[in-house]
Amino acid sequence: MRFILRRVGFFLLTLWVALTLNFLLPRMMPGNPAQAMIANHKGVVSPTALKALEAQFGLNTHQSLIGQYFRYLGDVATGKFGVSLTTQPGNSVGRIVLDAIPWTLGLVGVATVLAFILGTGIGILAAWRRGGRLDSVMPPVFVIMTVVPYFWLGLVLILVFGVKLHWFPYFFTYDFTMTPGFSATFIANVLHHAILPAFTLLITTIGTWILTMRNTMITTLAEDYIRMARAKGLPGRRIMLDYAARNAILPNLTGFAMSLGFVVGGAILIEYVFNYQGVGYLLLNAVNNDDYPLMQALFMLITVAVLVAILLSDIATAVLDPRTREAK
Amino acid sequence: MALPRVGLGRGPGAPAEAAPTTATANPVLGGMPASAGGITGAHALRRMARAITSNRKATAGAILLLIFIVIALIPGLIAHDNPNTIYATKLGPSGQHLLGTTALGQDMFAQVIYGTRPVLEIAFGVGLGATIIAMLIGVAAAYLGGAWDSVLNLITDVLLVIPLFPLLIVLARYLNGAGTLVMIVVITATGWSYTARQLRSQALSLRNRDFLEAARVRGERPLYIIVVEIIPTMTSLLIASFLTNALYAVLFSSGLQFIGLGNPSVWSWGTMLYWAENNEAFQTGQTLWIIVPGLCIVALGAAFALLNYAFDEIGNPALRPIRSMRRSRVKPAQ
C-alpha cells in the first residue's frame, strides 16, 4: 500500500512538472515563439480569437505570470484547451484531439501488445535453448533492428509493399471514397490500412522485448530454484514457463510501460509517414502549421497517457511481485 | 526513431530497480573497484583496445565507426562534387554522379558524404554532454546521499518518464528549428536521465568501500573524492553511456530533421530524407534518395549499438554466445 501511495505521489509530481513545462516553454524560450505565432495569424483569425490566443499565451495582458499560471491550471483541469488555429480553424482543440485518439490507441495498442507477446515468447525460447540457432542469430539481428529509424522503415515498407507490389494502401486510415460506419467492408478497409503502419511499429519494437526477456531469463535460469526443479525431474516445459519465465517476466513488464514513451514517439513519426490521422499525425500537423494551442494540448495528452500507463504498470508490478512491495 | 532505451542487451530501464545486467556487473574496463586508485585512464584505454580486438561484434562496430569518422573529417577528398551545385535533375547513378542527382539537381553522393559530419557532431556532442551531466548528477546523488540524493534522484526520475520525443518536437518548434548546436543542447538537456540512474546505482555500490573511507579520513573534499576516486572506477559504464547517448542522438536528430525541425540548409542524412519526402522521391522513382541516407543512419547506429552490446557481453559473461553447445544440442545449465 505504501508503495502504491508513493507511486501515485510520484505520478502527481511528474504530471505537475509536465504541465508547468507546457506552460513555461512558450513564455521562456528565446525569440518569443508565441508572439511570432500570433503575428503570423493576425488578420487571418477573428479579433475575438486573437484576444483569446493572447490570453492563452500571456501576451498583452496585465495578469501576472502567477495569475496566468493558475488560470492555465484551471483551464487544463476543466478541459479548456482553446481553439485550433490552422489545422481545423475554429474547432475546439478538445474535440479534434478526441477524434484522433481512437486511431492511435488502436494502432499503438495492437502493435505494442503483439510485440510484447511475440517478443517475450521468442526471448524465453532463445534463453531456454541457449546456444541454439535462435539464440545465436536473434541477438545480433535485433541489435541492428533496434537502430532502424521507425520512419525510415515505414518509408521502405511503403516502397516495397505499397508502391511496387500494391499489396497494401499506405495513405490515411481508410479510403476517402467510403463513408465511415459499422459495416464489414468499412472495418475491413480500416484494418487493411492499418497493416503496414502496425507492422512497422511491431518489427521496430519487438527486438527490445526479445533482448531484455532473453537477458533476464538467462540470469533467472542460473538461480538455485531452477536447479532444484531440474533435480526434482520436472518436465522442461514446466521449468521454462512456470519457474523461469514467470519470474523473469516481471522486470520486462515494467519495461513495457517505461518504453511506452518511446513507442509513442515512434508512432508519431509512423503516423506522419503513413498520413495516419491519429494523435501523432495531428501533432506534426499542428507543429508545421504553427497551431500552438493544438500542439500544447497534444503534448499534454501524450505525456499524461504515458504517465498513466507507467502508474498502472507500477501498480500491477506491486500486486504481482511481492519483492517490490517490500522494498522500502 | 525513438526507441525504448531498454534494448542493447541491458535490463529494462525500470525506475524502481537498477538494470540487472549492467548496473550490477563489475566494471570490466575500469578494473576491480576495490583496487581503485591504481587504475589510470591509459590502463583503461589499453583494456578497451584489447576488448575491441577480441570481440567480433566490437571489431565490426569499431571499423564502421572509424569509416564514418574518416568520411566526416575529409569529405572533400571523398566526394568531388559540392552538395549544393546544381546539375540536371533526377539523373540516374553513373560514374559522374555515383548515386545520381536529386529532384533539385544536387549530387546525392556528395550530400551523403558531406552530411556525415553534422550527424557525427551531434552524436559525439550529445554522447559527451549527456554522459558528463549524468556522471556529475548520478555520482553526486549517490555520494552526497540524504536530501541531495532525494532531490537529484527525483529530478532524474521525473525526466526519465516524460516522453522525450514529443518534448523534443515541441522544443524544436518553439526554437524555430534546430541547427547542429541547438540540437546537441536540446537532446543533451532532456536525455541524460537514463544514464544518471545507472551511474548512481554503480556509485551507490561503491559508497562504503575502504578506499573511499581512506580518502575521507585523509580529509579530501567531496569534489576531489568524486572526480579522482569514484569516477575512474566507472570507465566502462561511462563508455556504455557515451555509446547509448550517441546512438539516441543520431536517431532523435534524424527524426527531427526528417519532419522539418532541423536546419534544412545544413546537409545531414535526416535533412536529405526531409527533402526526399517533400519531393515524393518514391512516387517519382528516386528510390536511392531515401534508401541511402536511411542506410547510413542504420550503419552508424549499428556501429554504436554493436560496440555497446559487445562491451555488455564482456562485462557480463553470462550473456556471451555459447558456441560449443550449438552442435551437440546439450540442454543448458545442468
Secondary structure letter of residue A88 according to DSSP: S
Q: Is B59 on the interface with A (CB under 8 A)?
A: no
Residue B282 has pLDDT above 80, yes or no: no
Mean pLDDT, chain A, rounded, equals 81
Contact of A251 with B9, CB cutoff 8 Å: no
Assigned C-alpha cell, B300: 552508424
Contact of B143 with B203, CB cutoff 8 Å: yes
Q: For residue A203, give the nearest of A144, A248, A272 by alpha carbon.
A: A144
Interface contact flag, A255 B17, Cβ < 8 Å: no
Interface contact flag, B169 A268, Cβ < 8 Å: yes
Question: Among A249-263, B148-162, B174-188, which stretch is predicted with the lowest mean pLDDT?
Answer: A249-263
Residue B16 has pLDDT above 60, yes or no: no
Query: What is the length of chain A?
Result: 328
Phi, psi of A105 (to 5 degrees): -60, -45
Q: Is B6 on the interface with A (CB under 8 A)?
A: yes
Q: What is the CA radius of gyration of chain A?
A: 24
Q: How far apart are CA B140 and CA B122, in angstroms?
A: 26
Secondary structure letter of residue B102 according to DSSP: -
Residues A81-108 have pLDDT tens digits of 777 777 777 778 888 888 888 888 888 8
Mutation target to probe the B interface, by most B beta carbons within 10 A, among A8, A35, A151 is: A151
Contact of B156 with B197, CB cutoff 8 Å: yes
Confidence of residue B65 (pLDDT cuts 50, 70, 90): very high
Mean pLDDT, chain B, rounded, equals 77
What pLDDT score was predicted for residue A308?
Answer: 87
Contact of B8 with A211, CB cutoff 8 Å: yes
Of A138-147, B237-246, B313-322, which has the strongest mean pLDDT? B237-246
- Please, which residues have CB within 8 angstroms of residue B166's CB and are 6 or more apart in sequence? A264, A265, A268, A283, A298, A299, A302, A303
Confidence of residue B253 (pLDDT cuts 50, 70, 90): very high
Q: How far apart are CA A115 and CA A108, in angstroms?
A: 10
Average pLDDT over residues B147-173: 88
Question: Among A213-222, B169-178, B256-265, B317-326, which stretch is predicted with the lowest mean pLDDT?
Answer: B317-326
Mutation target to probe the B interface, by most B beta carbons within 10 A, among A125, A148, A152, A288 is: A152
CA atoms within a 13 Å half-sphere pointing along the CA-CB vector of B129? 20
Contact of A139 with A227, CB cutoff 8 Å: no
Phi, psi of B240 (to 5 degrees): -60, -40
Cell numbers 589499453: residue: B46
- Please, which residues have CB within 8 angstroms of residue B35's CB and are 6 or more apart in sequence? none
The CA-atom distances, in angstroms, between B211 and each of A122, B117, B208 are: 44, 43, 9
Residue B250 has pLDDT above 60, yes or no: yes
Q: Which residue among A215, A298, A317 sits closest to B11, beta carbon to beta carbon?
A: A215
